[in-house]
Amino acid sequence: MHKKLLKLAAAALALCLVVPTAGAVTTNDDGEIMIRVGLASAYYHNATGELEAAHLENEDGYGAGYRFGYYDGNLDFVELGYTDRRTTQIAVLKSENLWYGYSSSMSKNTYGSSIHSDILVGCYHVLVDEGFRDFEDAQDAAEDYADGFVAYIDGEYQVRAGSFETKEDALRYGESGEVVGTSSYGLTVVETGTNTILFQYDEGSNTKLAVQPGVDGARETRTWFNNYHYRGGFEYFRRTGGNVTVVNVLTLEDYVNGVICYEMGPSWPLEALKAQAVCARTYALRNMGTHSSYGFDICNSTYCQVYRGMGNGSASYSPSQTSMQAVEETEGLVVTYNGKLAETPYSASFGGASEDAYYVWGSDTTNTYPYLCGVEDPYEDYDSSWTVSYTASELEKRLQSYGYGTSTSLDYLELEYSKLGNVIAVTIHWKNGQTNSIYPSGSKAIRSVFDVSSIRFTVNGETVNPAGKSLSGRSSTRSTSSSDLNVNGKPVDSLDGMYIISGNGTTSPIGENPYVISGSGTVSALEDMDQGGNTGGGGSSSGGSNQGGGTVTVSGSSYVFEGAGNGHQIGMSQWGANSMAKQGFDFEEIVTFYYPGVKVTRY
């Protein structure tokens, strides 16, 4: 019954809700939302940096030849030139002296300034003629010269000839004409492995060359770049006049296709992949333009979302029929809260419970992000357990490498747990009295400092004593006490020595595990209540310990970290989604379980 109600509610909302976005959205002339994904950039979260030369190769059966031009304000392609159908491999170079050969640093043949060979693409040329009406006229003129080519310079078609290392070499060229080059933003397109120039483009600091694969009207193009093949087109520019940035320009739905099978497995259950598609689409829309200073909307790494386009050619690392079906069946669906796009973080696994984003990122989960509150997860059945061990000396050296514990030795660790059983703070105590506190986020986060996979762990098996659970999840006391507990309107510091009165008038001491009845009649364990008297998330944990919050101290000759989960512990568990799908839950139920209070609606 609850599944049907969820589907009906979502269907009704999908018909009428218009959702505002956090970033600017670009829609092309066909009404499709377009996105620019950084593939090679100086941005430090892109694994591939700016390049001297960027190579493209058409995939057989998915388009032939290339078109050159630029993208307008709607990211519609504007054509300036093209190759013939026989051209399958091209390279876009910065317009400087570059030689073709083997690069040991890149382990492949490419063009570079440090490579020396007989194949030179020089930066000096001879201007043969200019002022052509269109590309066809210029191309006809260029064919009169063995090494002639068309250039589009400052809004005008030219015919240039030759490519020379020096101006003097160009002056000795057999044809009369002015020696020319480009600005530091110029780009030259060549046929890969040769010095045959196909097109040159320079609009000064505004230069952004677009390459659209396919001159044969192919319905879908797929093009190889840096070991992966991609749908859509490409944009090239020299952001600061140096090396080349490479951007994939494509529709939002094609982008989502290139995300979900890498963030999840391509053969995962359909409903899990649909949940991932909705979250990935929402993330992209909400973060559109985040990296605009680098010339694209979103990066291709785990810092944003893993994006590998149509994969590397292997079935295990490419979109599958199931993953593409998940995108098609959720087209346009997003996650919203109060009519606005929600934040939809996710990670591999939680090991029993996600965490309130307040404790991990400092987010306002009372007013702004209440759906990132953390939930106990009874569904995740993936074994994500792990162990990391240190001797006291090893841990001491590791901590000191992070700048902690100057001229002293390690005394003990103090671990603070949330009511969901995750570590929300570790305080290092040193023998000279120094202390350092480490939290789940920041440049020195718990996972980094201790080299652990999640914040759900124990050290040396130490767990919170049930009599010492913290009511607020922030207290460091070991006794059953809390300044947040009121009796007759007044705060009390401890329950020790207090009595309860039963319904028939008898009295007895409060035990170790008291329960309370809220004003609404809900019965719950005292330690599961927050400061406002509300109970925590329901469900039983599938792993982990220290449920209920509190603090433990650990010392000894060794420190063994045992835990479960992998990731930042916020939002959706991908392995949990996998398990829920196998148990019959649909994608909307998965999403609303991990983000309580959200809705799945049409964008």
Query: How does pLDDT run across 373-392, given as a tens digit for each residue?
Result: 999 999 999 999 999 999 99
Average pLDDT (520-547) is: 40
Question: Can you give the pLDDT at residue 24?
Answer: 79
Q: Which residues are CB-neighbours of 141 under 8 A, at least 6 positions away? A: 128, 129, 132, 148, 159
Give the number of other CB atoms < 10 A from CB of residue 430. 20
Ordered DSSP codes for 523-574: EEEGGGB-TTS-B---S--SS-S-TT-EEEEE-SSEEEEEEE-BS---SEEH
* pLDDT category of residue 549 using cuts at 50, 70 and 90: confident
* pLDDT category of residue 177 using cuts at 50, 70 and 90: confident
* pLDDT category of residue 464 using cuts at 50, 70 and 90: confident
* pLDDT category of residue 540 using cuts at 50, 70 and 90: very low
Question: Can you give the pLDDT at residue 91?
Answer: 98
Average pLDDT (506-515) is: 50
Lowest pLDDT segment from 423-432, 483-492, 580-589? 483-492
Q: pLDDT tens digits, residue range 127-164?
A: 999 999 999 999 999 999 999 999 999 999 999 999 99
* pLDDT category of residue 175 using cuts at 50, 70 and 90: low
The rounded Cα 397 to chain-centroid distance in angstroms is 32
Lowest pLDDT segment from 235-244, 406-415, 439-448, 501-510? 501-510
Average pLDDT (283-301) is: 96
Q: At 133, is the secondary structure helix, strand, or coil?
A: coil
Question: Can you give the pLDDT at residue 445?
Answer: 97
* pLDDT category of residue 185 using cuts at 50, 70 and 90: very high
> Do the bridges between strand 298-299 and strand 33-40 make them parallel or antiparallel, or are there none, so unpaired?
parallel
Structure tokens at 49: 């940096």
CA distance 36 to 300: 10
Give the number of other CB atoms < 10 A from CB of residue 470. 24
* pLDDT category of residue 470 using cuts at 50, 70 and 90: very low
Question: Can you give the pLDDT at residue 476?
Answer: 34
* pLDDT category of residue 303 using cuts at 50, 70 and 90: very high
Greatest mean pLDDT among 24-28, 80-84, 405-409 lies in 80-84
CA distance 417 to 423: 5
Query: Which stretches within 372-420 are classed as H helix?
Result: 392-401
Average pLDDT (549-564) is: 96
Is the model's pLDDT at 469 over the cut of 60? no
Question: Can you give the pLDDT at residue 514?
Answer: 56
Lowest pLDDT segment from 101-110, 436-445, 522-531? 522-531
Whole-angstrom CA distances from 78 to 69, 72, 208 are 5, 7, 12
Q: pLDDT tens digits, residue range 349-365?
A: 999 999 999 999 999 99
Question: Can you give the pLDDT at residue 465?
Answer: 67
How large is the C-alpha radius of gyration of the chain? 30
Question: Can you give the pLDDT at residue 496?
Answer: 53
Lowest pLDDT segment from 137-151, 193-207, 475-489? 475-489
Question: Can you give the pLDDT at residue 510?
Answer: 56
- Per cent of the chain over pLDDT 70 is 82
Q: What is the mean pLDDT of the chain?
A: 86
Structure tokens at 124: 């000096």
Is the model's pLDDT at 547 over the cut of 70? no
Question: Can you give the pLDDT at residue 116?
Answer: 87
* pLDDT category of residue 497 using cuts at 50, 70 and 90: low
